[in-house]
Every structure is written in C-alpha cells, then in structure tokens.
C-alpha cells in the first residue's frame, strides 16, 4: 500500500508497537536530513526499522539471538560490518535496529529498505502516544500520517552487547 511512497523518500508519521514515529527511507539522504530539520535534532544517531532479519545479518554483526527480540518493542545496537554504512544515519560504528510488531512494519518489509525510526517530537520532548499529541509544526511537514489510535507510550527497550540497557 505504501511501498511506492517509502521508496520515493516521503516523510511518514506512523505507529510503532510503542510510540508514534517519524521516518523515511533511510537510503534517501535528503529525506533523512529533512527529519533532522523537522525534529530540530543534531547529528545524534537515528535507528532504523530493518526490512528483515536477513538485512540485519547482511549489514550488521549480530551479537545476540535476534529472534529473541524481533519483532518486538526493542532497539538492538549492533556493530556495522562497514563503518561507513549509512553514516549520515549513524556516524558511529554501530546502528540501532528495530522490527516493530505492527502492520506498518509489513510495508517496510515489502519495500525492502531500512526505514528511519525516531519518536515524532521535537528533540528532547515527550514522544507522542496519539496523533493529537504531535505538534502541528511537525504534522504539517509530513507527507503521510497513519493514525492507529492511542499507543502504549512505552519507549522500546535498548539491547546492547546482548544486555538490556535502562533508558534515562
């Protein structure tokens, strides 16, 4: 349904299995930079929704059993096989990956590209659990808004080196 728009680099506000996100095709550098502008965010790394476990294994070094966490409400921080891979998404040697357990993830799987996943808010502010909580200034810059009602609001759990990391 959204494969074409994802591949074109459209900016989406979309539901995850935790909070609403804002994202785009992570291979489209211009769209990634637009998300930084919308969120008023510096070069802090973004995470991506991976199109598949195979994609993760192709580009990243899995240091844990991915099937234990994905799909699900987890962001796994993994080392890149090529440190330059998606360096405008994450300028570190690592990249956070998710595969949320929801319908929109199936669209990303169909498009077969990594997709930026970051909470839809201004940097440093509270994530949105519903579309009505999203500032108009952000909504007005999105090409597509997918409303799935009120979400759980609990951020994804970080997994690094096979261990859960508590978020501040």
Question: What are the domain boundaries of the chain?
Answer: 3-165
pLDDT in tens, 62-104: 999 999 999 999 999 999 999 999 999 999 999 999 999 999 9
* Residue 109 structure tokens: 């799987």
Residue 66 pLDDT? 96
Q: How far apart are CA 82 and CA 61, in angstroms?
A: 10
SS3 call for 106: helix
CATH number of 3-165: 3.90.870.10
**CB of 39 within 8 A of CB of 31?**
no
Q: pTM for this one?
A: 0.94
């Amino acid at each position: 349904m959204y494969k074409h728009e994802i591949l074109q680099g459209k900016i989406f506000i979309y539901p995850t299995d935790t909070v609403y996100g804002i994202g785009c095709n992570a291979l489209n550098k211009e769209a990634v930079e637009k998300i930084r502008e919308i969120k008023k965010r510096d070069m802090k790394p973004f995470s991506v929704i991976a199109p598949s476990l195979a994609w993760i294994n192709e580009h990243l070094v899995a240091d844990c059993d991915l099937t234990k966490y994905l799909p699900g409400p987890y962001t796994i921080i993994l080392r890149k096989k090529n440190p330059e891979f998606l360096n405008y998404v994450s300028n570190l040697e690592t990249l956070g990956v998710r595969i949320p357990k929801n319908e929109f993830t199936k669209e990303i799987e169909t498009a077969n590209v990594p997709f930026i996943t970051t909470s839809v808010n201004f940097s440093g502010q509270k994530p949105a659990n519903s579309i009505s909580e999203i500032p108009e200034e952000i909504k007005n810059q999105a090409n597509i808004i997918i409303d799935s009602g009120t979400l759980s609001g609990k951020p994804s759990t970080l997994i690094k080196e096979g261990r859960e990391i508590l978020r501040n």
